């Protein structure tokens, strides 16, 4: 198993993260209940493989993911890995009766309350310490201030985050309690708006900069270059299709892939095959062509997936593959090619 995964700096901070990170959503029982030991074994496998960054959120399983990550990682030497978690959702205990759990299965008995105010963010960080059983978080991200989650309330939530969450996290960063601060969203528009209104170190962008689509090249990435912030790119497999290929039942953004997406993935896959490169290896390495990308954060639900992702990160991809994708109009001309392998 690969055990030497490169690290990159987060923004202008002294925080470094491994270029391959483990995301905690699946380990919080997203869509399916994971046996406890399988979930814990997956976190252990990631650490043993050299994965040095672990991302979670109170939302994931309504506390389940933070408990699971903490159970494993608090037994490891603390300076050998970095942790990111999120703020903006508090967990409120529920005593009796049912409540909305969304796509999370067998959650803890806490309902989610959105709150981006100063006091709520300070409480959220303290609550995460308790769930992790650890006294340090390296990166704190303001979670899901975007149109998809808040609709007509987006402007009010953005204002609440700018006036509350950003000052709270800035205070923690300035005091040296947290190394880096940022946001975690699935949309480019809010990221641009935050970049214009806040001094943040990193942006976790999920599903928007991938082998299938390169959103943000015109405005967001130039802002990162100018201001010096970094990206943590989540969802490089687009919820499945860039890991499995366009097989029956393949998903794209958590829905059945459209015919247009299936056709595009098949074209990309054929080029990968001609260059003896697994589609998933190209997908996991592609975002690292951007020097402002510090880490690619993938999900996993079993140790074998960790081992596979580490191998994909170590796969040597010929430059001709990227050139052919551009020639065929399958990559934006402005998207830089990675130079790997990264493990």
**For 132-177, how does the pLDDT look when each residue is reduced to its tens digit (9 = 90+)?**
999 999 999 999 999 999 999 999 999 999 999 999 999 999 999 9
Contact 44, 102 (CB under 8 A): no
Is 203 in the active site? no
Quick check: is 116 catalytic?
no
Question: What tens digit of pLDDT does each residue of 111-125 get?
Answer: 999 999 999 999 999
* Residue 286 CB neighbours (<10 A): 28
Indicate whether 106 pLDDT > 70.
yes
Give the CATH class of 7-244+280-316.
alpha beta
Arithmetic mean of pLDDT over the chain = 96
10, with CB counted inside 10 A (0-12, 13-18, 19+), is: buried
Rg of the Cα atoms in the chain: 19
Catalytic one among 86, 154, 179, 203? Answer: 86
Catalytic residue flag (residue 86): yes
Q: Which of 12, 48, 55, 155 is catalytic?
A: 55
Looking at residue 233, its pLDDT comes to 98
Q: Which two tokens stand for residue 80?
A: 């050998």
Does residue 290 contact residue 232 with C-beta atoms inside 8 Å?
no
């Amino acid at each position: 198993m690969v055990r030497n995964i490169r690290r990159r700096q987060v923004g202008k901070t002294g925080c470094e993260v491994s270029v391959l990170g483990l995301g905690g959503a699946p380990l919080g029982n997203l869509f399916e209940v994971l046996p406890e030991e399988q979930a814990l074994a997956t976190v252990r496998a990631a650490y043993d493989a050299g994965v040095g960054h672990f991302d979670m959120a109170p939302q994931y399983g309504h506390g389940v993911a933070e408990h699971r990550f903490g159970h494993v990682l608090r037994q490891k030497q603390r300076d050998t890995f970095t942790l990111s978690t999120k703020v903006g959702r508090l967990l409120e205990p529920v005593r009796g009766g049912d409540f909305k759990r969304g796509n999370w299965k067998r959650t803890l008995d806490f309902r989610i309350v959105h709150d981006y105010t100063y006091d709520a963010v300070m409480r959220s960080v303290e609550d995460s310490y308790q769930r992790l059983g650890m006294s340090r978080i390296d990166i704190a991200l303001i979670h899901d201030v975007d149109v998809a989650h808040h609709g007509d309330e987006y402007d009010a939530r953005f204002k609440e985050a700018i006036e509350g969450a950003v000052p709270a996290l800035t205070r923690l960063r300035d005091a040296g309690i947290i190394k880096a601060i940022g946001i975690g969203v699935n949309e480019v528009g809010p990221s641009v708006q935050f970049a214009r209104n806040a001094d943040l170190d990193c942006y976790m962008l999920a599903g928007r900069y991938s082998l299938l689509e390169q959103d943000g090249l015109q405005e967001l990435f130039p802002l990162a270059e100018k201001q010096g912030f970094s990206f943590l790119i989540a969802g490089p497999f687009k919820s499945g299709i860039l890991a499995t290929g366009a097989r029956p039942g393949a998903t794209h953004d958590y829905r059945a892939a459209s015919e247009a997406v299936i056709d595009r993935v098949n074209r990309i896959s054929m080029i990968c095959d001609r260059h003896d490169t697994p589609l998933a290896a190209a997908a996991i390495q592609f975002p690292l062509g951007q020097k402002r990308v510090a880490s690619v954060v993938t999900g996993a639900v079993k140790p074998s997936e960790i081992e596979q992702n580490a191998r994909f990160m170590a796969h040597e991809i010929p430059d001709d593959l990227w050139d052919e994708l551009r020639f065929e109009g399958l990559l934006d001309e402005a998207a830089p090619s990675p130079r790997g392998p990264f493990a």
